[in-house]
Amino acid sequence: MASYEFKKINPSMNMSETGGKVIALQTDGKNKLKTAYENYYNAEIAKEAPAATPQVEQPVESLDIPAPVNTDVVNFEPAPANLDPNTPIDVEPFKIDEPVAPVDINPAPAAPVESNPIPAVDTTPSTDVISPVEFVKRFDDLVKITSFDEASRNLMRNQIRSSVALAGIVSDLNTSKLETMDLFNQVKNVQQTMQTTQNVVQNNQNEASLKLAA
């Protein structure tokens, strides 16, 4: 257990000596006494000193810049090693006493311009008249690439087919190709086609109703 406690004094205060004792110590002992007290004293001074503001080191962000890709490397051709700046360069002087050839200012006759004839357009009426079946096929192809839904596509297809069928009947009548029975059959076919079209329309309406209900 410590029997003493160091004490700090104010060295600037006046000090008066009126009594005391004297003791002789080896220098080593004196130094040890002094060193022990110095350590205490300096520690106390450090405690009383205002705490220095800690310097917070700001983190430094590193910015990663990706290396450019496909960068062309420019190779500068090095100067020739044997280039001597003191070597004179041979420059051929202008020959000012050389006669100048006269300039012919007469314009040359213009060369005849070739005409580029435009080929005549064949205005002969084409005999490539498509048949009703081909017409329906082409129409089908056209309808396929449109944005109609399948039901609308079928409806339009059937209407066209009906119209073509009627047109065919009228044409045959005009050319007297149809007998009475044939005419009856053709009309019956057209009726069937029209019925089919109506069925398709009805189906489309039913489907639309179901979609709305859903």
Which residues contribute to the site for another protein (CB under 8 A)? 2-9, 11, 13-27, 29-30, 32-34, 36-38, 40-42
* Shortest CB 31 distance to another protein, Å: 9
194 CB-contact burial (10 Å; exposed 0-12 / middle 13-18 / buried 19+): middle
| Distance in Å, CB of 49 to another protein, minimum | 14
| Least CB distance to another protein at residue 50 (A) | 20
Which of 38, 207 has the CB closer to another protein?
A: 38
Extract the tokens encoding 132: 């009703």
In eight-state DSSP terms, residue 1 is -
Helical (H) or strand (E) element with 174: helix 150-174
Contact 10, 48 (CB under 8 A): no
Residue with smaller CB distance to another protein, 36 or 187: 36
Shortest distance in whole angstroms from residue 32 CB to another protein: 5
Contact 152, 204 (CB under 8 A): yes
> Least distance in Å: CB of 52 to another protein?
21
Look-up of token digits 């020959």: 95
Which CB sits closer to another protein, 35 or 191?
A: 35
Strands (E), 42-130: none
How wide is the angle at C-alpha 168 spanned by C-alphas 162 and 173, nearest 5°? 130
Q: Name the residue nearer to another protein (CB basis): 9 or 100.
A: 9
Least Cβ distance, residue 65 to another protein (angstroms): 56
| Half-sphere exposure in the Cβ direction for 187 (13 Å, CA) | 9
Distance between first and last Cα of the chain = 95
Report the residue number, 4 or 76, with the smaller CB distance to another protein.
4
* Residue number, 33 or 208, with CB nearest to another protein: 33
